[in-house]
Chains A and B, each alone.
Chain A
Amino acid sequence: MIKTVDLVKRFGDKCALDALNVEIYDGCIYGLVGSNGSGKSTLLRIFSGVYYPDGGTVSVDGYSVWNNPEVKGQIFYLPDSPHFFKNANLNEMADFYSGMYATFDRSEFDRLTTIFPISRTSKIDNMSKGMQRQAALMLAMAARPKYLLLDEAFDGLDPVMRNVLKSLLISGIEGGGMTAVIASHNLRELEDLCDHVALIHEGHIIFSDELEAVRGGIHKVQAAFKEMPPHISFEGMQILKCEKTGSLMQMIIRGEEEEILARINDLDPIFVEAIEPTLEEIFIYEMEAEGYDVKNILG
């Protein structure tokens, strides 16, 4: 488990992480969402031992990460702009990482080279951004770390490769006991992948919960009425948002889906349906309910 307690990181006058508390349990895919400059990358760098915190603590399985190679050997950090040695090819990079990570799996690397369409002998410097990202992901996955930290993992990948990566992450977690922490400013990328999602803003965790719990509690309901029912008819329902367009009502309601539909059916609608809200919508509604200016937060 990765755990932070009152984590603080400052860059000059700017406080990038401000008494931040996070717990990431083993075997999950943890989505870290936030706008640019919210502190996601800083948090990952502290998790991986790149940065030293100015306050608070961070521990992995109870041990400090900073300057601790045994713990760092279980963590693979893939930054948003991965670095490769000058003129190196994929084979050379794999050779390097196999000497760094005891868990590096050559056969897995060989298997990945059949999945990703990248030459093992071409200079990585000469590859496109997307290809370089794929190369970095191959190395990261082949290292079979216990904790895989990905910063903007899907940046530069085409839709096919995005799905491949998602499959690999899921199989890595199911088969290899891996834990993945994925930082992204794009909620849509994470919604069908993460078990747990946290929203970070100005160095604070604003919201953090299991995805299923988030999804299960909020529903988007559309209903049409010949004649709009009076306001009082919806009393007792936890409506987070309501929009009316002619005879059509669109509501975001917290509660059990069956109970909500039953209540609305009692109002004799022309039709009623429950639509699964996107993760982004859920966040927006939750955050607005908490009083945050969500547009600014999600950028």
Chain B
Amino acid sequence: MTSKTSSVKINPARKMLRFTLKKQTPITLLVTAFTLVFCPGAVLREVLDRMDYVSDNLRYDLPLFFPGITAGVFIIAVALTFLLLLTNFGFLFSKRAGDMFHALPLTRNELLFTRVIAAFIGGLFTMTLAYGSLAAMSLLPMVTPLPVIHIITTYLIMVLFLAFLTAFMLIFVVTGGGAFDTILAIGAVNAALPALGAVFISFFENSAHGLDAAYDGLIYTTPFAYTVYKLACHAEGWEASNVLNIERFTIVSALLVLAFTVLMLWICSRLFRVRKSETAGEAYSFKFVPAVLSVLISVAGGYLIGLIMTSNGFESGDFWLFFLPGALLSAVAFGAISTRAFKTVKGSLIKGGIAVALTITIVLSVGFAASVAEDKVPAAESVKSVRPFGHYSVEFTEPEDIALITQIHTTIVENNNEGYPGSTEDYQYEEVPKVLGNIDDMRLTYTLKNGREMRRNYWYSELKAKNLRKDLLALMQTDAFLADYDAAASHKINGHIRLHAAVKTETESNYLLTNKQGKELVALFKKEMLEADVSVFEEECLDLYLEGAEYRRMCVPKSFEETVAYIEALEPFESEEY
């Protein structure tokens, strides 16, 4: 059928936008007023208390509180936007209102976007006002200022994430048929996906020896999780990123978020176009929504009931005795809530059954993947770098060092295949040798040449560690390992190196070392370490805590006579301030 040429002089879409903005003004102003009481109201009160103190150390520490306040403002803006979405799209939940709105001379896209833009503007208005006033406080003399660039980039990221979450929430609004069910769907998806993700990752981790699963993947389970993580990282990261491993929000990240926002809006547009008006007032407008939710809730409900009844996870047989009825019960309960009746029990049981089958499939797949991963040691040639003692430990990049670490890893796996804790009766836990200090686990983090990361984690006490001693000592004698002490042996500008140790007595003493002394001490330690043999693993050690530019624990075996003598010759520094 053809399309008629327009001769209409008015613009109904613009009128609808203006009208919607006008109608939502009271609630927007109310929430804005509430937000302003919190920010800048409460913050300003703290600031004004410092009117008389403008010296550096008594200023209001805005950078310290900035992430928390920013998060609060953002959460309120998102909540307001969701509230406005529910009210602006109330006609999707009421047949009477639906008749009126759908009969108006607007395309479905015009109707959708005028209403969602109005909701977004409402949230943006509140956020801008509250955040703007917070940023303005940075100019006050009694406030420690924030970098302007950080204020601006944080705002832009907040705007971007507000749009991102608005688009995400809109999917639920468009597919919902009632306000209650829409809220239920959003809650279920955003709680169940990360929770179940964590459960399956944990199961993967526990399914085989040494697996160290990446929980940071959970941030990708829902846009809410991603937003919370990224925003928190950015708000915190302006000064901490150099110290902590905080992922900065890059232009590429922003473009990806923007692309996903556009994608979700496009999906909403397509869904809204085919959405049947007659579904207003029903729980959901599309059959796939309750089906997906039912399966999700069944798995989550079944797991929860299994956990409560047995205190065990998927590994336990007892757990499944409760998981099965729990999943079915959850499916029936969700079906009853959605239909406000018990008319769909049979269908709900089928969905519960699908959920159980799906869970079994995932559990078997994860278990299989874990058993394969358990024995996997990367080829030394494929490794770009490796940190053997955790994410923040020294990084080894030399091929011979990497080969040594993969050799240690191979020995661990082979020992493991001969039986690891729990699998053999005669297994003996081993004490961690003193010389290893706080290295009580082998937390291997490989960065492969293909850009991927591989992590394994073995508790030293669970290993047949005597087989590893020769290689471990060789590792501790590498240049890379010993060079790691250098930072602790050099002081900060105009400062001293601090040393804590219990040398002559059982009581720990404090020492202040010059830069020269620090270097001498570490040089002696390195020299004796290079001369050491595996007998050091049996020795008692001096525990030193060396704090220069960086902080290191250094365990000195008693046989390191020169190092021990050097420390004993030092005069303890006795000061209250120290």
The yes or no answer to B5 lying at the interface (CB within 8 A) is: yes
Q: Which of chain A's residues have a CB closer than 8 A to the CB of B96? A: 79, 81-83
Complex contact A50–B98 (CB within 8 A): yes
Question: Could you tell me which residues of chain A, from 34 to 55, have a CB within 8 Å of some CB in chain B?
Answer: 45, 48-52
Q: Is the CB of B100 within 8 A of A11?
A: no
Q: By the criterion CB–CB under 8 Å, are A63 and B9 in contact?
A: no
- The residue in A61, A68, A71 that gathers the most chain B C-beta atoms within 10 A of its C-beta is A68
Q: Is the pair A96, B19 in contact by a Cβ cutoff of 8 Å?
A: yes
Interface residues of B in 157-177 (CB under 8 A from A): none
**A67-B107, A68-B4 are contacts. A45–B99 as well, Cβ < 8 Å?**
yes
B105 touches A101 (CB 8 A): yes
Most chain B Cβ neighbours within 10 Å, of A49, A59, A69: A69
Q: Could you tell me the distance between the alpha carbons of A61 and B104 in the complex, rounded to whole angstroms?
A: 18
Q: Taking the complex as formed, is B57 at the interface, i.e. its CB lies under 8 A from any CB of chain A?
A: no
Closest 6 CB pairs of A and B: A99-B15, A73-B105, A64-B1, A69-B105, A72-B105, A77-B103
- Chain B residue with minimal CB distance to A151? B99
A73, B23: Cα distance in complex, Å: 23
A100 touches B9 (CB 8 A): no
Please report the C-alpha to C-alpha distance between residue A100 and residue B104 in the assembled complex, in whole angstroms.
7
B98 near A63 (CB under 8 angstroms)? no
Asked if B1 and A59 make an inter-chain contact with CB atoms under 8 angstroms apart, the answer reads yes
Say if the beta carbon of A62 comes within 8 Å of chain B.
yes
**B5 in contact with A70 (CB, 8 Å):** yes
Interface string of B131-144 (1 = CB under 8 A from A): 00000000000000
- A residues within 8 A CB of B277? 45, 50-52
User: Which A residues lie within 8 Å of B97 (CB)?
Assistant: 83
CB-defined contacts of B276 to chain A, threshold 8 Å: 51-52
B4 with A49: CB separation less than 8 A: no
User: How many Å lie between the Cα of A272 and that of B273 in the bound state?
Assistant: 64
| Interface residue tally for chain A (C-beta within 8 Å) | 33
Partner of A51, one of B18, B91, B278: B278
Please classify the interface of chain B as helix (H, G, I), strand (E, B), loop, or mixed, using the class held by over half of its residues.
helix
* A57 contacts the other chain (CB 8 A): yes
Tell me whether A69 and B99 are in contact in the complex, defined as CB-CB below 8 angstroms, given that A51-B277, A64-B1 are known contacts.
Answer: no
Chain A's closest residue to B14 (CB) is A99
Q: Which of A52, A64, A69, A85 interacts with B107 by CB under 8 Å?
A: A69
Q: Known pairs A49-B103, A72-B106, A83-B99; list 12 more (Cβ under 8 Å).
A: A64-B3, A68-B107, A70-B4, A70-B6, A70-B105, A73-B8, A73-B12, A75-B103, A99-B19, A100-B10, A100-B105, A101-B10
A154-213 residues at the B interface, CB under 8 angstroms: none
Min CB–CB distance B110 → chain A (angstroms): 7
B50 touches A (CB below 8 Å): no
Q: Which residues of A contact B278 (CB under 8 A)?
A: 11, 51
Q: Answer whether residue B108 sits at the interface, using C-beta atoms and an 8 A cutoff.
A: yes
Question: Smallest CB-CB separation from B100: which chain A residue?
Answer: A83
Q: How far is the CB of B31 from chain A (nearest CB, A)?
A: 17
Q: Is the CB of A68 within 8 A of B23?
A: no
Most chain A CB atoms below 10 A, which of B99, B110, B277: B99
Find out whether the CB atom of A70 lies under 8 angstroms from the CB atom of B99. no
A-side contacts of B99, CB under 8 Å? 45, 50, 77, 79, 81, 83
Which of A63, A77, A101 is the one whose CB lies under 8 Å from B3? A63
Which B residues lie within 8 Å of A100 (CB)?
10, 12, 15-16, 104-106
CB-CB under 8 A for A102 and B108, given A79-B96, A83-B100: no
* Closest residue on chain A to residue B104 by CB atoms: A100
Question: What 1/0 flags go to B81-101 for Cβ under 8 Å of A?
Answer: 000000000010010111110
Task: Decide yes or no whether B2 CB sits under 8 A from chain A.
Answer: yes
A49 to B105, CA, bound (A): 9
